[in-house]
Chain A
Amino acid sequence: MPDQTVPHFKVVGHSEPKVDAYALVTGKPVFVEDVDVDGSLHIAFLTSPHAHAQIIEIDTSRAEVLPGVALILTHENTPTRRYTTAGQGYPEPSPYDARMFDNTVRFVGDRVAAVAAETLEIAHAAVRLIDVQYETLPAVLSIDAALAVDAPVIHDEDDATGIHEAARNTVSVVKVDVGDIEAGFARSAAVVEIVCETQYAQHAPIEPHVVQGYLDNDGRLVLVSSTQVPFHARRIVSRVLDLPLYKVRVIKPRIGGGFGVKQEILLEDVVGLVTMRTGRPSLAVLSRPEEFFASRTRHPMRVRVKLGAGNDGVLRAVDMEVISNTGAYGSHALTVMSNVGSKTLPLYNKASDVRFDGKTVYTNMPVGGAYRGYGATQGYFALETAMDELAEDLAMDPVELRRRNHIRVGETSPIFEAIGEGKAGVEQMVKSCELEQCIDIGAERIGWDAKHGARRRDGSWVHGVGMSVHMQGSGIADVDMAAATIKMNDDGSFNLLIGATDLGTGSDTILGQIAAEVLGVPLAKIIVYSSDTDVTPFDTGAYASSTTYVSGNAVRIVAEQVRDQILEVASFMLDEEAARLRIGSERVASPMGESVTLEDVGLRALYATDQVQIGATASYVGAESPPPFLASFAEVAVDTETGQVKIIDYVAAADCGVPINPAAAEGQLEGAVANGIGYALTEEMLISDHGRVRNPTFFDYKIPAAPDLPRIRAILIDSYEPTGPMGAKSIAEIGINAPIPTIANAIYDAVGVRLRTTPFTPERVLDALEGIQQNG
């Protein structure tokens, strides 16, 4: 990395304490449920026990007379407009296939009724008193069943829109052909083809979905929500409830993790309707089991990858076929599937012949949604496992094979333009890529040269190492928009108002750091307030790894505008041209060494001469989506007697441009890798033959705890993205894509079995080992 291009920063690039850290470590009441609202009703849900059924009759009379019950909502007394629960930009690329409450239920956990009562206990008791007569319908409980010729049709309603072919349970289809794929394989010396399957997994934020609603003194609906997308939530609630948008305010306080599942409008509509109908505050919180079976999941997928390369290891042809299971509703169905290709294929841009063939199907199973990684996770399992096999076929070090194929600065890929998110993508040239260094440093730290191919035995445990490389994006180019407002106070401090949504990621802090850097003040002088639709400017929200890059650029631009206004005022005070003035250390200084403080400027502007509020609002839309890069390495130990896999060491070396806050960026990478390790080894929603989630608790659905993980080594490589704010790119998602292929390849290195189905449980590892013994 040439140092001269990287400016010297005073606030950016430093691990400043998070602006919300004090409130969080002292347990201040900063989360939705921490603020008691007097007289609030509590909401409980009745959900479908059937995977697919028609509601013949719903009798709420016994529940209604239970003392303390205020309101019962069913399909008979609620708005019927179809919409998508996916909190995406408008118009959403997900089909409008859901109703608040429908007379057809399409998965075990689908909403049947909601009860609002004086206490949660009464609400639950009332739920048990609702009598529902169902006529069960044939259910579709696998990808293959969905695609069968005579498969039951899951969305046969005539008012759904945006479904590719409802009669065939096909939500969405994407086909892209670059070059001539068959010719590409014909020109290849080595060809590898594999099929991988991924499981149902859940985000498991420790804080479940929670929404508190109330009417303000003017009768407007206020929703305090654990949402990643306050502005989309406002729009969707307004449309579903047929309320004018100006009558709805959404506030996001601190929220306890999201990872994509809170990009979904799951409670806001019901809380909103209860509060509008009763005039009373109301609260809904998903229980942990509901979080698993009734909220959203990672789309399970079957991904086929076929690679062709020359003897030099350079890829000629890449063919990827994807079938994604979106469950009962098409939330993010098209875009997650598109990302399987769009976030993986450009990484290997040497291949001239590329084909992508993606399809998303409905089933009567839990509903897919946005989940950190967003399809790339599923895609990289197949792609990076296939690369490992290709390396073996070519008798080439897997590290060397990646070096020969990955995209570099100044290069592009036709896939950037070919696959977008609901529309065409955007052509882009890679302007920063330090993947080569990520690979070198990661390999060195894990001890690749000494350990790869050198199985070390320790009793029944065998050690091996594996690796994989990755890219993601930074926001959705030409779609995601963010705005920021800054106003200056009379003491030289600033209010930074942003629509951007901090889910615990630290975005309030890093956006504050960007503003502080430009305005020449310490972070403490930036008062950050975010995510309140009445107060802060618009932002599409926290998803698609967009906040640092898209919202960060909006903050950079508005801070520059405010800085220029400050220099204008100071130029009168110092009798010097504004262009010759410099801002820094809370002062504006002339080349002659004269200076005024920002407080002097603030006081003059507000009280003295030519009075004016120094302040501005600026917006940003990404013209491109610069990818961060990652090289991931793991050492595993496999117990050949039990099939257990332990992670001995994990190194994740990332290029995220300039990390605005290195500790926060490391935290993102460490957390994403930890989540990915769970996804690789233990996490799986088990679905019964009747479509019921069998393990909807933290006891039975095992997410990693501290003793299950090694000390994950996150390394941030020096890099600078010229289009990023202060040189930054994204870091939030990329890490989660790495553990599955990295661990799969390490297991192969250790014990010689290729695992094609996640998670790599002891049973699956043992089965694979026994397969070898039988075959051998």
Chain B
Amino acid sequence: MKQTIALTINGTRRSIETELGETLLEVLRRNGMKSVKLGCDTGDCGACAVLLDGSAVNACMVLAVAADGKDVDTVEGLEHDGRLHPMQQAMIDVGAVQCGFCTPGILMSGIDLLSRNPDPTEDEVREALAGNLCRCTGYVKQVDVILATARLQAGETDA
């Protein structure tokens, strides 16, 4: 059984045909959002984290039909006019990317955190990443990236 849903993916409204039972993860990947990664399919690893109406969710745990009419933001939408999001740039500059498979999910969780809490402590950053598993890094540099982005954005706001 098919159903057509409306999704606004990275600011572009789309009409998408979905199969019954299909997850948001499957729909996003099928529509070219390959940054959304399948690591477990049980909502435990966070590699498929996206923003749904501005809040981070694991796309593997959301039925596509439940996202009907909502905004979805993925890493594909972070770069504007050839400029990376500061958190993406910090990932590169700090050397926080190893294999990079978990990186999109970490970015979305980090952006979600700073939207709610622009000046987090290190513990708050670690807590915000509790649902994003990374096997490569030990999280040290990823935490630094989010803290550095918060400082940078605070500076921009002050200015």
Interface residues of A (CB under 8 A from B): 15, 17-18, 20-31, 33-34, 203-208, 254-257, 259, 285, 287-288, 503-506, 661, 663-664, 666-667, 670-675, 697-699, 703, 705-707, 709, 711-712, 714
Considering the complex, give the chain B residue whose CB is closest to the CB of A34.
B34
Known contacts A707-B127, A707-B130: A206-B95 contact under CB 8 Å:
no
Task: Name the contact of B101 in the complex, choosing from A15, A256, A705 (C-beta under 8 A).
Answer: A256
Q: Which of B1-9, B62-70, B86-94, B150-158 makes up part of the contact surface? A: B86-94
Find chain A residues with CB under 8 A from B93 CB. 17
Q: Is the CB of A25 within 8 A of B130?
A: no
Q: Is the CB of B136 within 8 A of A667?
A: yes
Q: Is the CB of A675 within 8 A of B95?
A: no
The dominant DSSP class at the A interface is: loop
Known contacts A25-B84, A257-B101, A671-B138: A703-B39 contact under CB 8 Å:
no
Q: Is the CB of A24 within 8 A of B42?
A: no
Find chain A residues with CB under 8 A from B142 CB. 706
Chain B positions 48-99 with a Cβ under 8 Å from a chain A Cβ = 74-76, 78-79, 84, 88, 91-99
Report if B44 contacts A (CB, 8 A): yes
Q: Is the CB of A256 within 8 A of B99?
A: yes
Q: Is the CB of A674 within 8 A of B94?
A: no
Q: Is the CB of A667 within 8 A of B131?
A: no
Q: Is the CB of A703 within 8 A of B133?
A: yes
What's the interface size class on B, roughly? 35 or more
Task: Name the contact of B91 in the complex, choosing from A15, A25, A30, A670 (C-beta under 8 A).
Answer: A25
Known contacts A21-B91, A663-B141: A27-B129 contact under CB 8 Å:
no
Give, as a whole number of angstroms, the nearest-CB distance from A286 to chain B.
Answer: 11
Considering the complex, give the chain A residue whose CB is closest to the CB of B78.
A26
Given pairs A24-B97, A254-B100, A706-B143, 9 additional interface contacts (CB within 8 A) = A25-B92, A204-B133, A257-B99, A667-B138, A671-B136, A675-B135, A698-B39, A705-B132, A707-B123
Q: Is the CB of A670 within 8 A of B141?
A: yes
Find chain B residues with CB under 8 A from A285 CB. 38
Report if B103 contacts A (CB, 8 A): yes
A/B interface sample: 16 pairs, CB < 8 A: A25-B84, A27-B34, A203-B135, A206-B47, A207-B99, A255-B99, A256-B39, A288-B41, A504-B99, A671-B136, A675-B138, A698-B45, A705-B132, A706-B143, A711-B143, A714-B140
Give, as a whole number of angstroms, the nearest-CB distance from B119 to chain A.
Answer: 18
CA A606 – CA B54 in complex, angstroms? Answer: 54
CA A475 – CA B35 in complex, angstroms? Answer: 34
Known contacts A663-B141, A706-B143: A288-B40 contact under CB 8 Å:
yes
Known contacts A288-B42, A698-B44, A698-B45: A674-B138 contact under CB 8 Å:
yes
Report if B125 contacts A (CB, 8 A): yes
Find chain A residues with CB under 8 A from B100 CB. 20-21, 23-25, 30, 254, 256, 504
Find chain A residues with CB under 8 A from B12 CB. none
Considering the complex, give the chain A residue whose CB is closest to the CB of B79.
A26
Find chain A residues with CB under 8 A from B17 CB. none
Considering the complex, give the chain B residue whose CB is closest to the CB of A701.
B44
Interface residues of B (CB under 8 A from A): 33-42, 44-45, 47, 74-76, 78-79, 84, 88, 91-104, 107, 122-123, 125-127, 129-143
CA A656 – CA B148 in complex, angstroms? Answer: 28
Find chain B residues with CB under 8 A from A207 CB. 37, 39, 99, 101
Find chain B residues with CB under 8 A from A205 CB. 99, 101, 135
Task: Name the contact of B84 in the complex, choosing from A26, A287, A672 (C-beta under 8 A).
Answer: A26
Q: Is the CB of A206 within 8 A of B45?
A: yes
Known contacts A664-B95, A699-B44, A705-B131: A25-B137 contact under CB 8 Å:
no
Give, as a whole number of angstroms, the nearest-CB distance from A405 to chain B.
Answer: 29
Give, as a whole number of angstroms, the nearest-CB distance from A579 to chain B.
Answer: 38
Q: Is the CB of B125 within 8 A of A706?
A: yes
Q: Is the CB of B138 within 8 A of A670?
A: yes
Q: Is the CB of B99 within 8 A of A667?
A: no
Q: Is the CB of A706 within 8 A of B132?
A: yes
Task: Name the contact of A667 in the complex, choosing from B37, B103, B137 (C-beta under 8 A).
Answer: B137
Q: Is the CB of B42 within 8 A of A697?
A: yes
Give, as a whole number of angstroms, the nearest-CB distance from A625 to chain B.
Answer: 24
Find chain B residues with CB under 8 A from A663 CB. 94-95, 141
Find chain A residues with CB under 8 A from B74 CB. 27
Known contacts A26-B88, A699-B42, A703-B135: A503-B75 contact under CB 8 Å:
no
Give, as a whole number of angstroms, the nearest-CB distance from A701 to chain B.
Answer: 9
CA A205 – CA B104 in complex, angstroms? Answer: 15
Considering the complex, give the chain B residue whose CB is closest to the CB of A505.
B98
